[in-house]
Structure 1
Amino acid sequence: MNINALEPVPQASPIRNSHNPVLATVLSIVPGLGQLYNRRWIKGIVFLVIGLSLIIALSAPIANSIAGMITLGDNPETDDSRNLLVQGLLSSVIGIILLGLYVLNLLDARKDAKKRQEGIRTPSVRQAFQDSWEHGFPYFVVVPNFIMMALIVIFPLLFMISLAFTNYNLYNSPPAHLLDWVGFANFKALFTEAVWSKSLFTVLSWTVVWTLAATTLQIVLAFFLAVMVNDSRVRFKRLIRTVLILPWAVPSFMTVLVFTAMFNDTFGAINRDIFSHFGVSIPWLSDPTWARVAIIGIQVWLGFPYVFTLITGVLQGISKDWYEAADVDGGSRWKKFRFITMPHVLFATAPLLIMQYSFNFNNFNIIYLFNKGGPPVPGQNSGATDILISWVYSLTFKENNYKMAAAVSIIMGIVVAAFALYQFSKTRSFREEDMY
C-alpha cells in the first residue's frame, strides 16, 4: 500500500497577475475609470455617467451655498441669513452623502482589482446584482431610510444647533438685519449674566426635581396597585383594572384642563368644596410651591395607568412555580416580592421605565396647559413651574429670542442623552444583550 497516496493533494494557489489595486484606486478619482480598468464595463460606464453628472451639476451650487453659510450674507437688502444658513446646511448634508458614495466608489474599485490580481473570476453584472441583493439586503433597506433621516431629522437639528452660535433675536432678525456668528457668547451669557444664569439653574433644578418626583411616584403607585390587584385573593380583577386605566383612556389635555379649573384659587372645586370646610384656601396657581405640588400630583394621576398596565402584563407572565417553591422554603411575602416579583418586573420593563423619565423631562403639555409655566418669578425670565422645554417654547414664541432658545435646547439634549445612556448601560437587559 502506498502511504503517499493517503496524503492530501496540495491545492494549487490562484494564479496572480499584474493587475494593480493601487492604480485602480487612483483611476477611480474620476468615478468609473477604476471600474473600467477592472473590466467591469457596465458598472464603470454607469459610475462614470452618474458621477460626472453629479459633479458638474452640484459642485458649484454646493460650494456657493457653503460659502453663504460661512458669511451669512453681505447685503441685508438682497441676502437673508436664514435662507443662506438653511441652504448651506442642506448642501453640507448632501455633500457628506455624496462624499460617502465617492469613497465607496474608490473602495469598490480597489476590492475588484484585488480579486483580479488574485485570479478570482469577476462575476457578471447579473450575478453581481444577485449577490448584492442576497448579502446586502439590509443595506438596501437601511440606506434610503438613513438618507431620509439625515434630511428630515438631522437637518433641523443642525439648524437649531447653528442658531445657538448666532445673534438671532427679536432685535436682530432677518430680513431687516443680517446674522453674525458669535461663537460661544450665548452659552457664556447663560452661565455668567445674572438673569440668565439664575433662570437656567432654577429651571434646570426644578426640571430634575419634577422628573424624578413625578415619574418615581407614578411608578411606585402603579407597582403597588398592580401587585395588589394581581393578588389571588382579590376578586373582580377585570373591573378593577378597567377602572384604574380610565385616566389613560381620556385625552391628557382634557384632563389637565379639568384639573386646572379644579385647582383654581378662587372658584376651583378643591378649594371651594373641600378645603373651605376647614377654613383653608391654598393658592394652587399663584404660589410657586403649591403650583409645583399640583403639577406633580396631576402627572402621577395621568402617568400611572400606563405603568400599571405594563407591570400587570409582566406579573401575569411570572410562573406560579416560583412562588410555590418559595412557600416550600418558608419565604415570606416580602422575600417573594424582593427576590421574585421585583427582579422579573424590572428586568422586563427597565428600558420602558427609563423612557418614562425621559418623557417627563420633556413633558411640555402638562406644564403649558396647567399654568403656562407660571406663576412669574421676580428677577427671572422664566416661570416657577417652567421646565426646560416650556422655557424654550417661551423664549422662542413669546420673546423671539431664538439664539438663547437654541442654546438651552442643546443643553437640554445633552442632559437627556447622557441620562438615558447612563441608565440604559446600567440595566441588566442592556448588558446581557451584548452577550448574544
Structure 2
Amino acid sequence: MKNVIIIGGGIVGLSTAYYLNKEGYEVTVIDKGNISSGASFVNAGYITPSHIIPLASPGMIANGIKMMFNSASPFYMKPRLDVDFLKWSWYFHKSSTEAKVEKAIGVIKDINLLSRELFTDIKNSGDLGNFQLERKGLLMLYKTEESYLHEKKVAYRVAQEGLEVTDLNKDELRNIQPHVNIDAEGAIHYECDAHTTPNEIMPKLLAYLKQSGVIIKTQEEVVDLKTSDNRIKEIITNKQSYTPDEVVLAAGSWSGDLAKRLHLKLSLQGGKGYSINVARETGISVPAILMESKMAVTPMSGFTRFAGTMEFSGINNIIRKERVAAIANGASSFYPDLKINEAEIKSVKTGLRPVSPDGLPYIGRSASIKNLTIGTGHAMMGWSLGPATGKLITELLSGNKTSMDISSFDIQRSFT
C-alpha cells in the first residue's frame, strides 16, 4: 500500500490521516510544532452550515481599509509593503462581488453539511471515545436595528438553502438562555449549527491515530522538497528525509511558503485569531456570535471560550494587548454580569487561520506535481471543515468519486 506523508498536524492534517488510515494507507504526519497549540486548538469549535457567506464579500476591503489604523478593530489589516500580501489583497477585492458570493453559497453549505455528518459519524464510531458534540445551534445576538436587518438578509438566504433558522425576540432569547443576563435586542438562531471542544477532540484524535499505526513526527520542520519528473521524490526536514509515494500539504498558514518551494502559486494569508477561556460558571449554554463586537462565545467542556478578531499582520504569534482587551470588553458589553478578569486575559491563546483570497478552501490535486494534494485556505471554517476535507482528500487519493463537487476548491483557480 502507498505511503503518504502529510505535512501539517492541525485538524485538516489529522482528519486526512484518519480517513487514509481507514483505507489502509501507510501514513506519516509531520508537524513543526508539538500538535498542542495553534488555530486547531484555539478556535470557537463551531460546525457551521449557516456560515454560507465567504469572508470575501462586498464591503470587506473597504472595512479593512477603514480599520487599518485601529489595531483593536475586529478586522485588522496591518499596512505593509509585502508583494504576496498586496497580490492577495487585490485578489480578495476581485473576489468580493455579489455574483462570486452567490456562486460560493451552495458549495460552502454542502461541505459544511458533509463535515457535520462526518463529525457525527466519528463520534458514533467510538474511535475517539466520548467528546462534546452538541446541536444547540448558533445565536447571532444583536443590539442594533442595523445589525438585525443585515443578519435577517443572511437568515433569509440560509432558509432558502433549506437550513433551520429562527428569529428570536428578547423574551424568546431569555427562554433559550435563562441562566445568563444578555444585553441584546434579540437573536437570529441558526438551529442547523453544532459545537465542540477542540482541546478535547485534538488529543483524542492524535492518540487514536498513534494507536492505529499512523506515525506522528512532531517538532520537525520541512525545510526542502526535492522534485523529479513532476513528482516530489524527497521531503527533507531539519531531522531526516522521507521518500513518499504521495504528499498531502495541509500546513495551514505555512502552506503558501512550502508551495513556493515547488514553484506553485498558492495565494494565502494568515488571519490571526485570539481566544480566552473562562473556567468558572458563566450561565452561557448556547453558542453565540456577538454581532456588534464581532466575536464568538462557546460553552465548551469545562469552560466558556470567548474568541475573535481577524488580524492580517503576517506569520507571527505576537499577541496585541489591545485586541485581547477588545474581546474582554465585547463579552461584558453583551453579558453585563460577566467580567473577564486579568488572570483569564493573561491566559489568552492565539492561532493563524489560512485565508484564501475568495474565502473558499483549496482542496485538490496539483496539476503540475503529480503526487501532491493540497488541503488548506479554510479561513474561519477550518475546524468546521476538517473532517470533510480529510474525507475528500482520501477519496481523491483512492480514485473514488468525491462526496461532493469540489471544482470550486480547485487549487489552480484564478482570482482575476
Question: TM-score surpassing 0.5?
Answer: no
Q: Which has the higher helix share?
A: 1
Task: Give the number of the structure with larger relative contact order, counting CA–CA contacts within 8 Å between residues 6 or more apart.
Answer: 2
Greater Cα radius of gyration, structure 1 or 2: 1
Q: Which has the higher strand share?
A: 2
TM range (shorter): under 0.3
